[in-house]
Structure formats: C-alpha cells, structure tokens
C-alpha cells in the first residue's frame, strides 16, 4: 500500500510561508471519501494551535506554485509566489503563472546567437536587456 501525503503551508505575518508540513491524505477525506482541504487545516490547527494553513502541491496543480519557506501566499490570486530574485529589480510578475520573469522577452536563438540577461543594460535602456553571448551586443528582443 502506498501512503500518499498532502502538503500544507504554514502562513505567518504578511502572508509569508514559514513552514511546509506533510499530512496523510486520509486526514483530508470526508465521509464520502472526497478530499477536503478544510479537514487538513482543522487537523493541523488542532495539532499545532496555529490557525493559518493553505494546501500546496508539488505539481502546481493547485495554487500555481509549490509553496516554500519565504514564499508569499496571495489569496486574491490563489497562488504561492516565490520571493523576487535579488539584484533583478526589473523583473515582473507573470499573472498567469505567478512566477517572476524578465520584462523583455528573450529574443531566442536567432542567427545562432545565445543571449543572457543583463540587468545593467536594461536599467540603462528599458527596451533592451538581453546581451548576445557571441559578441556582447545588446538586443531589444526583436
């Protein structure tokens, strides 16, 4: 018999994830053997005394992203959002995936060139940011 486990994020101040814990799936089953997140929250609250829990999933099948310590729980988006990457002040949140992305799309492998992101180039001219690794030329993504 394979015991499957559910994961729950412990939510602290400012909606920050402070821990992720595992609960046996059987704890979540209601009288009709249907999974009910509220039963897992009730179980954890009774066990720990902590009232703020949200279920998460490795597959991202719920809440868009798997929760991790330091992530933000955004109830309006029904999503866990990882911290914005350090030293990447220009990055923006993709509303569909709730993941951080560069503000200019990668121009791709055009003409056999590879590109790397250069935050300084973007800060100097926000229509650019991708630098060709072949000749260090800045690209505007077109």
| Alpha-carbon distances, residue 2 vs 5, 6, 88, 116 (angstroms) | 10, 13, 42, 44
CA 81/CA 63 separation, integer angstroms: 9
- Phi-psi domain of 47 (left: phi exceeds 0; alpha: psi -120 through 50; beta: other): alpha
pLDDT tens sequence across 14-44: 999 999 999 999 999 999 999 999 999 999 9
CA 100/CA 94 separation, integer angstroms: 6
The overall pTM is greater than 0.75: yes
**Beta carbons of 89 and 119 less than 8 angstroms apart:** yes
């Amino acid at each position: 018999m394979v015991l499957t486990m559910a994961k729950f994020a412990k939510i602290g101040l400012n909606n920050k994830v402070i821990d992720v814990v595992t609960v046996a799936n059987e704890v979540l089953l209601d009288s009709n053997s249907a999974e009910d997140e509220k039963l897992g929250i009730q179980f954890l609250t009774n066990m720990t005394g902590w009232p703020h829990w949200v279920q998460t999933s490795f597959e991202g099948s719920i809440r868009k992203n798997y929760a991790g310590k330091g992530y933000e729980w955004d109830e309006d988006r029904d999503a866990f959002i990882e911290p914005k990457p350090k030293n990447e002040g220009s990055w923006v949140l993709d509303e569909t995936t709730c993941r951080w992305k560069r503000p200019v799309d990668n121009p791709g492998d055009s003409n056999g060139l590879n590109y790397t992101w250069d935050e300084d180039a973007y800060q100097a001219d926000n229509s650019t940011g991708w630098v060709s690794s072949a000749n260090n030329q800045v690209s505007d993504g077109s």
